Amino acid sequence: MSKQEQCSTFKTMCGGQALIEGIMMRGPKKQAVVVRKSDGELEVQEKELKFIKDRYPILGWPLIRGVVNFADSMYNGVTALMYSAEFYPEDGEEEEPSKFETWLNDRLGTEKFTALITTLAVILGMAMSIGLFFLLPTLLGTAVTVLTDSMLARNLAESLLKLLIFVAYLALCSRMGEMKRVFSYHGAEHKTIFCYEAGLPLTVENVRKQPRHHPRCGTSFLFMVIAISILVSTVVFAIWPVHNALLRFLAHLAMLPAIVGISYEINRWAGRHDGPVTRFFVAPGLWLQNFTTFEPDDSMIEVGIKALELVLPEVKGEDAW
């Protein structure tokens, strides 16, 4: 672990997401999206955050809050990503909406139409992730039954396939030209957070010196979900052997909310503490960030600084993790 990480005692709940030529930051009360437009100017979007747990306190309980926060992050992340994409249409030309899109927009109104499109995008994204990281390993794992009926062997095969597919997916994304800039903005987000947590002025020079791997990154959380799913499914299928591939997949789906909730609590705990145990838990996620977090240039760092400054609380320390 770097000196910056060891010396940083304050941990902020502020965090963000890399976008297309931009960064989204979320603080305790506000969210900001900052996008670098093609003319070099910054486009800024701010909004006050409203949390569903304030209306329904039960949704803020441990284990439950992980699922709620994950769904909320997915929705807000896709919304911000679509917003940033508006400034960079494909081939530099705005695509004309289809007749169906125009009809929906007229019937629902712009706000409801945007919410519908965003919801569909989130559902499709989650369906693809579930298919890739849960359904595919389950189907491929059936090949083991040709050699042995051992449930342990099948569980082990599926576990290895989950890890291999996850790492291969990240490695493939990291080699895509368009994603490299997004991942560089990801690095700018991490460095800016580290600079703030170290108590240093938010300047390009100070941010540039910070590490680009952050222990509370979404990549680390996703790895935790995969790792916990392996442990939980191995125990469950050892107690309740299921050989049918479809039933095994349905069982994975049924366990997924609990897996996300457990992963969130472990990630939250690890993010609040420093020590050998927490370093053990975050080490794989930090390594995987070699695929999803690249060094940013100064213009990207400026975007990160602007986005973070917009969401910092007025009362110092109100954003403590």
Three-state secondary structure along 100-156?
A: HHHHHHHHHCHHHHHHHHHHHHHHHHHHHHHHHHHHHHHHHHHHHHHCCCCHHHHHH
Contacts by 67-72, CB closer than 8 A, 24 or more apart: 67/257, 67/260, 67/261, 67/264, 69/264, 70/260, 70/264, 71/122
Res. 5: pLDDT tops 60: no
Name the least confident of 189-198, 216-225, 300-309. 216-225
Cα 112 from Cα 95, distance rounded (Å): 20
Which pLDDT belongs to residue 12?
93
**Residue 213 neighbours by CB distance under 10 Å:** 23
Res. 64: pLDDT tops 90: yes
Helix, strand, coil abundance in the chain, percent, nearest 5: 65, 10, 25
pLDDT average, residue stretch 122-144: 91
For tokens 């191995």, name the residue.
234
pLDDT average, residue stretch 139-161: 91
Phi, psi of 280 (to 5 degrees): -65, -45
Alpha-helical segments (H) within 25-63: 52-55
CA atoms within 13 A on the CB side of 254: 9
Which pLDDT belongs to residue 89?
67
Cα 243 from Cα 150, distance rounded (Å): 10
pLDDT average, residue stretch 145-152: 87
Closest to 76 in 3D by CA, of 128, 28, 33, 12: 33
Bridge partners, 32 (sequence order): 25, 46
Answer with the residue of higher pLDDT: 44 or 8.
44
Mean of pLDDT over the chain? 88
Q: Is the pTM of this model over 0.85?
A: yes
Which pLDDT belongs to residue 98?
59
The domain spans of the chain are 3-8+16-311
pLDDT band at 95 (very low <50, low <70, confident <90, very high): low
Percent of the chain with pLDDT over 90: 66
pLDDT tens per residue, range 31-51: 999 999 999 999 999 999 988
Determine which helix (DSSP H) or strand (DSSP E) holds 220, and give its type and residue range. helix 218-239
Percent of the chain with pLDDT over 70: 89
pLDDT band at 172 (very low <50, low <70, confident <90, very high): very high
98 secondary structure, DSSP code: P
Cα 52 from Cα 70, distance rounded (Å): 13
Helix (H, G, I), strand (E, B) or coil at 14: coil
Cα 162 from Cα 139, distance rounded (Å): 11
Name the least confident of 58-67, 113-122, 220-229, 260-269. 113-122
